[in-house]
Amino acid sequence: MNPSDWRTYLVTQASLSGDRTTPEIVRAAIDGGIDAVQLREKETSARSRHELGHELRELTAEAGVDLIVNDRLDIAQVIDADGVHVGQSDLPVGVARDLLGPDAIVGCSTATVAEARNAEAEGADYLGVGAIYGTSSKDVDDGKDGVGPARIAAIADAVSIPVVGIGGITADNAAPVVDAGTAGVAVISEITAATDPEAATESLVAAAETTKSVATREHSQ
């Protein structure tokens, strides 16, 4: 799938999944209509992520859902992921592009217009921007308060590649993020910590799609 077609994107984090395993959360998200899954799990060992990665590859490949690996290009290669997502302190976008080739999806976390333009110039396929709202589940450069939809609008205007918002996004507050010009919304807690992850995904998909179709209609008038 092209990242511009992503509407919803799940970033995994086992520590928030309660008594469910990460494959169980991912299976529920797939059943709920998720478009992409990022294997993150920064708190676990490379060996654990590698084993989990093989499981998630099987689940996502069957469903036609994109699988992206955070940070580790080697794990992405070994599990045959669709791509990688790198942050500002991970390997540079250009290095990932050179190692993984033109067909791999390479995404990059950016918090400013300058970072976004640089990532696009290095060959990124999409950008993750956040934390949009305050978040408790992911360390972000901009602290706990969130950069807000205005920042994502500025970044989306500055680049021609798709932008995904992340950080504190829920079905209820997704609309301003999509309205700001993003391709879609990425979440951790909203799905992973939900009592019913499948229903939570369905609500998020509905929120992202409704807003998107309204935005598209307004633009075309």
Residues with a known catalytic role? 40, 109, 138
Q: How many CB atoms lie within 10 A of CB 39?
A: 28
Shortest distance in whole angstroms from residue 75 CB to its own copies? 7
What residue ranges bind its own copies (CB under 8 A)?
45-48, 50, 71-75, 77-78, 88-92, 95, 98-99
- Name which of 90 and 209 has its Cβ closer to its own copies: 90
- Name which of 61 and 99 has its Cβ closer to its own copies: 99
- Name which of 71 and 125 has its Cβ closer to its own copies: 71
> Is 19 marked as binding a ligand?
no
Shortest distance in whole angstroms from residue 188 CB to its own copies? 21
Shortest distance in whole angstroms from residue 94 CB to its own copies? 10
> Is 132 marked as binding a ligand?
no
- Name which of 47 and 217 has its Cβ closer to its own copies: 47
**Angle in degrees, CA 189, 109, 55, rounded to 5:** 55
User: What are 168's two structure tokens?
Assistant: 């504190």
Given a contact cutoff of 8 angstroms between Cβ atoms, the answer to whether 158 and 193 are in contact is: no
d(CA 81, CA 72): 11
> Is 144 marked as binding a ligand?
no
Shortest distance in whole angstroms from residue 98 CB to its own copies? 8
> Is 168 marked as binding a ligand?
yes
> Is 42 marked as binding a ligand?
yes
Binding-site residue ranges: 38-42, 70-71, 90, 109, 135-138, 168, 188-189
